[in-house]
Structures are given as structure tokens and as C-alpha cells.
Structure 1
Amino acid sequence: MVTALFAVLLVFTGGSSRGDVSFLIIPRVGALVLIALLLIGLPPRQFAHAARMLAAGTIVAGLVALQLIPLPPSWWAALPGHAPYATLADQVAGARWRPMSLTPDLTTESLVALLPAIALGMAAAAATRRQRSWWAYAIVALASFSALLGLVQLADGPDSVMRWYPITNQASAVGIFANRNHNGVFLAAAIPIVAMFARERCRRLTRGQAPEPILFGAGVAIFGLAAMAVSTGSRFASIAAMIALIAVPIQFFANPRPVFAWRSSPRLRLALLAGTVATFALLAALVMLAGSGLGRIFNEGLGDDVRSSILPTLSQMTRDFLPFGSGYGSFSSVFRNYESFDQLRLTYLNAAHNDLFQLAIEGGLPGLALLIGYIVAIVRGTINAWRTGGSDLSRAASIGIWLLLAASLFDYPLRTPLLSSLLAVLTVWLLTTAPEDDALPRDAHNLGARGRGA
């Protein structure tokens, strides 16, 4: 119950990446409460799973916290990239010990921002197999809600009261997020989970039962999510939706275990053919919409914007601050000292729109090493998931993870509490096995009790 309440708080307050959004304090305080209650109330077997997730989160948090350790003035000034700021800092505040980070307040903000993902990751790790299924249903329901909310926002126009954040894409379907890119990639990441449920339901059917109602229902949900992802106007979200659609038949047929006992059924062949035709019809219709993500790809290309123009600047910043980085959260402040006259605009760049570069700039080699370790673990987990014996849930999680990581090369979705928490949950599903339901006492009333964890 506590986990469910925290998830609701996260849905309504965790869709923005901006540190100055006042109600972000709500999911962070809620995360602290959830972590404390999990540590106190979980039975031993579930506690062991949650503790491993807490340990992983502690390592990440510790790496951020290292940048807040004060250094002697001479050491601080000698750090790569810090020399231009040393004289000014001494003139303003005098020679004194300072944290490695150029923006210690924003680094502290980055540290606190990890709390929701750590808390929900712990809860996901402690959830039993049955509870993980309910979590998956909840993600699909949330994606459907965000898609419907996006439709309402488009119908209401730029001044819709259904846009929850003051700084947002006023003319786009942002759903439960502040940014249309983040909403779009979230909808795309939910598609493989819908396909997973359809595959599981089809495998349970007997020879005399028809799969068409299941396939039709799943098809409506999948194409509805894909259509709304494209309609957000986000170019990468459109690509992610197409990748997710391509992955659907792979999820159904890549595993040697049979999905359908009646694979030669004429009705099934007709249903699959109709689904294929509908897919191409949908794509053709969406390409014709100039404001859609696919329309923007055909009309504007992929790199005709500020993201590609600043890549040389990002490379220079990375070289200047290696190996220790400028400090987590410092990108926007530091970038202003690097942007050229041609890059000046009436708006400012709040993120690099490429988290690989931003991680290298802010976190240096330690941050990149942590990322490489995570990627290695995900690659191994993905290979294991798609081998014989891998679960449908782990395969769906692998697709969602790679979509979120790919989106981070063009934007910053994982800087929102909601999507960073989703990544934590998907990572748990991919890399860990769930505690058995039968291992829990039937009359348990703690956080890990059967049927009440999510």
C-alpha cells in the first residue's frame, strides 16, 4: 500500500526534470519514507533483494557525493577546467576550501534527485512474481492514461489546464510529463509490456480457443500507444515507437517455445495479415501529419537543430574537464562560458540533450566508468533474457531499457524522477529474479505481504 501511494505521488509530481519545480520535494520526501519502511518492514527474503538494490543506489550516490568533499584552494584551482574560475572565486569569497563541483548546490540537488529511483527500485526488487505482474499492468495503465491525457491536452489547446507544469511544450501532447519527448518515449517503452501480456495470454489458450480477441485488444493498445508517441511531435519518440512495433512479432516468435498451438489457423493468419496492413496504414497516415514526429523527420531531418550544432562545444567541454568533471548538475551554468556568438538565443540550454556527453562533462571518468559497468550488465542481462528459458517480462524490460538509453543520446528523459524510476524497475526485472510468492506468510501485514506490495 505504501509503495502504491508513493507511485501515485510520483505520477503526479515526477514528470519534470527541472530542479526549481517546487513540488519535486514531495516524491523525494516520499522516497525517504518508503526506503525507511522497506528496511523496517520487509521479511528477510525480500529484504535481501531490496538491500542489493539499495547497495547499488548507494554506490551511485556515493560517486555524486564525492564531488562535494572540500579541497584545499591550490588543489581546487589545479583541477582540469577549474583555473578560469579560481581567480573569480578568490575575489568573491577569498581563498578557502571548496568542493570539487563548480556548482555544489546543484550537485546536492542531483544527489537528492536519486532518491525516487532508489526507493522504487528497492520496492521492485522486493516484489514477488505475482506482484511484478501487477506492476507491469500498472505501467501499461499509466501509459494509457498519459496517452489519453495527451489527447485532451491537444483538444484543449496551448492553454489547457491539463498541463501540470508551468514550463512545458504548450502545443504538444505531454501527458503526465513536462516534455513531449519524455512522454513519447514512455509510451513507446510501454508497448513491449503490452506485447508481453498478449503473448502470455495466448500461450494459456487451449487448441479450441480463438486468439483473435486477445490479438485485437493488444493491437488496439499497441497501435494506440504508438500513434500517440508519434503525435507528440518528438522525432526520437517516433523512432522508438517504430522500433517497439518491430519488436512485437520478435517477442512473439523469437522464443522456440510455441506461442500458438493452432499456428496454421486461417483466422490467425488473417488476423496477423490485418494487423500488418493496419500497421503500414497507420505509418502512412502519420507520415502525412507535418506536426507529428515522423512528419518532422521527413521535413526537418534528425539533426537540423541546436543539438547537432553544439556537439563540437560539448566535445571541448569534455576534454577540458576530464578526468574529474565539472560537477553533477553544473552543465547549464558551465555551458554559458563556452557557447559561441552563433549559439546565443533568447532561450538557454538547460541540458546537453545528450546524456553521454553530459555525464562525461559533469562526472568525468568515474561517471563514465559507472555507465560502462551498467551497460555491460544490461548487455549480459539482455543476452540471457532472449535465450531459451528467459522470461517474457525480462524480454519486455530489455526492450524498454534500450529505448530509454537510446533516447538519452538525444534528450534527457532519465533526469525526470518518473522515468529514472521506471528505468530502475525495468533493470530489476531484467537482472534479478523475484522472491517466490509461496515463501511469504499468508497472514503477513508488512510491506512485502502477498498482493499488497504494489
Structure 2
Amino acid sequence: MLGLVFAAIALFGGSARLDVNLLLFLRPLCMIAIGVLLVLPITAPARQMRAPTLLLALLALAIAVQLVPLPPSIWTSLPGHERYAEAALAAGLDQPWRPISLTPWRTWNSLLTLLPAIALLMSLRGISYRQEPRVIYGFLAFLAISLVLGVFQVGGVIDGPPLPYRFFAEDSVVGFFANRNHAAAVLATGFPVLRMWSLAHGKSKLPSSRRRLIAMVSALVLLVMIVVTGSRTGIVVGFASLAASLAMSPLEELGAGMRKSHAKWLRILVIAVPTLVVALLVLFGKALSIDRFVGDDLLAEKRLTFLPVLLDIIRDFLPFGSGFGSFDPVFRSYEPDWGLSRKYFNNAHNDLIELVLTGGIPALLVLLGFVGWIGWRIWRSWKNVPSGETISTRAGAIMAGSLMLASLTDYPLRTPLAGAVLVFATYLMSRPMPSHRSSTEKSR
């Protein structure tokens, strides 16, 4: 069931737009999966994912509350709603009972957007310890297929994503996605998973030295693909994820079982080779991400020039927000004349800002709860000696951090596929860790 759910999300969930026809396949499939998973017994769950489940339920509640109809006396007094009440008054219309959301149908869509995450979370709860390696291999296989698609897109064999998205980044490496920024952010989550797999003592039939070699080569290919996507955010997130992944465990692991001189050169090559490859890509004009960093005027980006306008909207609608999914029509009512162009601003390109703008304080509290849970898990992992549990937690935290960092300049987590990867990251972080004392005794 887990494999079927993730495959459906990968095939049909690569776009963040709400008018994608592929959602007509994905959401019913997720509903069916949820129904089946409610019936199937969970005998030996590998992880007690109580915190992620609670946080996802609170997010759903924060969205659902915005759909509750309110009497006119309350609705017209909500912050930010005055101008819409005045419009109805000027038109001579009576005020009916209305919800907090200014665009209820878009908020309903936001609620349904959680279906893939719910289906995947329920699937992962039923995974036993014996099945964990299969889940890791499944995610690595997904990354491998994404890389193959990227190579085909670079070579011109495939024009755009494998499925017919109406809007997508042309002449870019997008993999399963319609947006190169989202594709690059998900590729960046591959570094911690590869590092975790290379450190999986006794959990693979491959010798540890061969695992490390495969992981290093795969990480290099990932890095090259991120650089050629054309995503400026992706290259920053990619290098940050790579550096954090190397810091997951002491680098001495890379040279275990080798001569000291050979191990020293290996550690040098781990840093030098990616740098050399990126330099060669720049030299031969293939580093589109870096070219866009150098050639584009970052200060003229709409996501920066519109920042004061977005802060004004947040101030007007606090503490309840304008309604999940309402950013596009609400922003158009605030958009200044100097900002008008042939390109429309469909999202804030900063999900922290958009979350507060549309979801208000309740949505912000859910986000802070999630960040706090990640911080607590990281603290627990560093308090214990390195083990399979602590390495898994660190890998999941780096994955989640990469996606959230990318969300500061874009909106990858609004795609069902990137959201599924975040759920997988919480799965890695949810493994119970032994106490400090038991870990020390075990290491002896």
C-alpha cells in the first residue's frame, strides 16, 4: 500500500496549482487508500508517529475552522474583511452567514490537499522494523528515476515533465515536477538519505566500503543535476544539505578500514571533487543555476519588491488570516499599479509569509510546533552516541530543513510530492532513540 500511494503521488502530484487535472486521479486514489488503511490492522509499527499525526490533524483543524459560517455581525468585524463588507453594502446586498475564508472553495481545496500526506502517513505507521530497509531503498529508487528523467530532459529526449502539465518550467530539469525549484529542493533531500544508507552498519549485504563509494558517486550526480536545473534556491539548499549530511557523522567513517594516507586523500576528494565539477559546469556553460545567480538582478525580484505589500496584508488580516488558498485574489486587491505586468503573482514565494497571511496565528502556531518538534528530536539525537536511531533522526531533520529552507523563497511543500517527502522525513525522525546510558553501554 505504501508503494502504491507514493507512486500515485509521484505520478500525479508534481504541481502546486489547484487546477491540475491529474488531481482528479490522485485524490480519489488517496481516499481509497485511507479507507483500506483504516481497516488493515497495524501489528508492529516501527515508529510511533504521534507528533507528526497530531500536527497534521491540527493543520487540518486550522483549515476547517475557516470554513465555519459566521453571523454577519461577527463576519463584518473580522480584521481585513471591512472592505468586502462595504462592497456588499454599496451593492445593496444583504450579508449572509459567511466563513472566515474569503474564498471558501479554495480553502476546501487546501483541506483536500492534505489527503496525500494523510494517506502516506497512515501507510508509514504500519511499517515494521524488518521492512524499514525496503522503504529506504524505495526512496533511493525514486531519486534514481528522477535523475534519469533529468538526464533525458537535459538531452532533449523529454520536453518538460513526463506528464502533461499545462504550466511548467520550459528548457529546465524538472523531473516529476512542473517547477525546477521544487525539483531541486527534493533532489537536495537525497544527500542525507545517501549518507544514512552509507552508514547503515550490518543492514546491507554490500560491504561498507562499497556502500560509501556508491553513495559518494550518487551524491555527485545529484549535485550536478541540481546545478543544471536552473534553480537558484536549489543550489543554495543543495550545498547546505550536502554540508549538513557530511556533518551527520564524523568524516573518519569515510576512511574506515583504509590506510591513513588513503583515508586522508579520500576525505580531501569528498570536498574537492564536487567543487571541481561545479567549476567545470560553469566553465562549459551548463551551470544554469549559477548563471541565473550572476546574471539576474535579485533586488528586482517580485518576491522582494512586493515584501512591504505582503507585510501590510498580514497586518490587516491578523490574527485569523484571509483563508487558506486565498492569496491570489486577495493579493490582486492590494497589488500596486507599479507592480502590474504580464506575469501574475500567484503565490508569495515565501511560505512563511503566505502561511501567516492566509492562516493567521493558528497556522503559525502549528508551524512553530513542527519546528519545535524537529529541534527536540535533533537535541535528542546529539545527546545520544551515534547509532542507527540517531543517524536516522539527523537525516530526517536535514531533509525537513532543506524543504523548509527552500520554502523561504518558493512554495515546494504545496506540491503533493514534496509534501510526501516531508512526511517521509518525519518518519525518519520518529524512530525511538535509546537512553544515553543504554546507548553508551551498547557502544562498549
Query: Fold conserved (TM > 0.5)?
Result: yes
Which residue does 2:414 correspond to in 1? 415
Q: Which residue of 2 aligns with 1:232?
A: 229
**Cα distance 1:260–1:16, how it changes in 2: closer, same or farther (>3 A)?**
same
Q: Percent identity?
A: 33
Q: In the alignment, is the contact (CA less than 8 A) between 1:81 and 1:320 conserved in 2? A: yes
Q: Give the direction of change, closer, same or farther, for the CA distance of 1:4–1:131 in structure 2 (3 Å limit).
A: same
Residues 1:92 and 1:165: Cα distance change in structure 2 (over 3 Å): farther
Distance 1:47 1:220, change over 3 A: closer
Please tell me whether residue 184 in structure 1 is matched to residue 180 in structure 2.
Answer: no
Q: 2-side partners of 1:135 and 1:350: how far apart? A: 35
1:330–1:129 Cα change, 3 Å: same
Question: What is the deviation of 1:87?
Answer: 2.9
**How do 1:203-222 and structure 2 match up within 5 A?**
211=209, 213-222=210-219
2:298 matches 1:296: no
2:176 and 2:39 mapped to 1: Cα distance? 32
CA distance in 1, matches of 2:96, 2:182: 41
| Partner AA of 2:59 in structure 1 | V
**Aligned counterparts of 1:62 and 1:270: Cα–Cα separation in 2:** 54
Aligned to 1:353: 349
Q: Which residue is 2:18 aligned to?
A: 19
Alignment CA distance shift 1:219-1:115 (3 Å): same
Q: Check whether the contact 1:163–1:175 (CA below 8 A) recurs between aligned residues.
A: no
Counterpart of 1:167, as a letter, is F
Contact 2:46 2:128 in 1 (8 A): no
Deviations 1:348-390 (A, max 9, x none): 1111000111011101111111111111111111222233344
SS at match of 1:347: coil
2: distance between equivalents of 1:430 and 1:243?
A: 19
1:264 CA displacement: 4.3
| Paired residues for 1:139-150 under 5 Å | 139-150=139-150
Cα distance in 2 for residues equivalent to 1:422 and 1:93: 46
Question: Hey, what's the Cα distance between the residues in 2 that align with 1:78 and 1:204?
Answer: 62
Structure 1 residue aligned with 2:37: 38
Moved more, 132-141 or 186-195: 132-141
**Are 2:122 and 1:122 equivalent residues in the alignment?**
yes
- Which piece of structure 1 moves more, 304-313 or 156-165? 156-165
Q: Cα–Cα, structure 1 residues 26 and 433, in superposed 2: closer, same or farther, change >3 Å?
A: farther
- Counterpart in the other structure of 2:442: none
SS in 2 for 1:251: coil
Q: Deviations over 1:186-224 (max 9, x none)?
A: 101111101111122599899xx782x433321110010
Measured at CA, do residues 326 and 204 of structure 1 come closer, stay the same or move farther in structure 2, by a change above 3 Å? closer
- The 1:93–1:38 alpha-carbon spacing in structure 2 relative to 1, beyond 3 Å, is farther
8 A contact 2:396–2:429 mirrored in 1? yes
Change (3 A) 1:418 1:161: closer
| Counterpart for residue 391 of structure 2 | 392
Question: Which of 370, 376, 379 is the aligned partner of 2:372?
Answer: 376
Which residue of 1 is the match for residue 239 of structure 2? 242
Cα separation, 2, equivalents of 1:108 and 1:399: 31
Q: What CA distance in whole angstroms lies between the structure 1 residues aligned with 2:52 and 2:217?
A: 36
Q: Distance in 2 between matches of 1:327 and 1:21?
A: 21
User: What is the distance in 2 between the residues matched to 1:275 and 1:340?
Assistant: 49
CA offset at residue 285 of structure 1?
2.2
1:385 is matched by which residue type in structure 2? S
Q: Contact conserved, 2:223 with 2:274, CA < 8 A, in 1?
A: no
Counterpart CA distance in 2 for 1:9 and 1:210 is 33
1:88 paired residue number: 87
Distance 1:10 1:48 in 2: 22
Shift of 1:275: 3.1
Q: Which residue of 1 aligns with 2:269?
A: 274
Alignment CA distance shift 1:198-1:158 (3 Å): closer
Q: Distance in 1 between matches of 2:102 and 2:323?
A: 6
Deviation at 1:73, TM superposition (A): 1.3
SS of residue matched to 1:252: coil
SS in 1 for 2:226: helix
2: distance between equivalents of 1:358 and 1:421?
20
Distance 1:271 1:291 in 2: 26
Query: Structure 1 stretch 85-94 or stretch 400-409: which is displaced more?
Result: 85-94
- TM-score normalized by the length of structure 1: 0.87
Matched letter for residue 378 of structure 2: T
Aligned residues: 428
Counterpart CA distance in 1 for 2:92 and 2:12 is 37
Cα distance change on mapping 1:403 and 1:129 into 2, 3 Å: same
> Structure 2 CA distance, aligned partners of 1:408 and 1:188?
13
Distance 1:295 1:388 in 2: 43
Q: Which amino acid aligns with 2:430?
A: L
Cα distance, 1:312–1:51 mapped onto 2, change above 3 Å: closer
* 1:428 is aligned to 2:427: yes
Question: Does the Cα contact within 8 Å between 1:6 and 1:27 map onto a contact in 2?
Answer: no
Gaps of 5+ in 2: 434-444
Question: 1:334 is matched with which residue: 322, 325, 330?
Answer: 330
Structure 1 residues 54 and 363 mapped into 2: Cα distance closer, same or farther (>3 Å)? same
Alignment match of 1:319 (pick from 302, 315, 329): 315
**CA deviation digits over 1:296-334, x for unaligned, max 9?**
223336544111111111100100000110000000110
Contact 2:55–2:370 (Cα < 8 Å) also in 1: no
Q: 2:350 is matched by which residue type in structure 1? A: N
Cα distance change, pair 350–71 in 1 and its aligned pair in 2 (3 A): same
RMSD of the TM alignment (CA)?
A: 2.7
Taking the TM superposition and a 5 Å limit, the aligned residue runs for 1:42-57 are 42-46=41-45, 49=48, 54-57=53-56
Mapped partners of 2:312, 2:324: distance in 1: 17
The SS at the match of 2:249 is helix
Distance in 2 (alpha carbons) for counterparts of 1:74 and 1:41: 47
Amino acid at match of 1:423: L
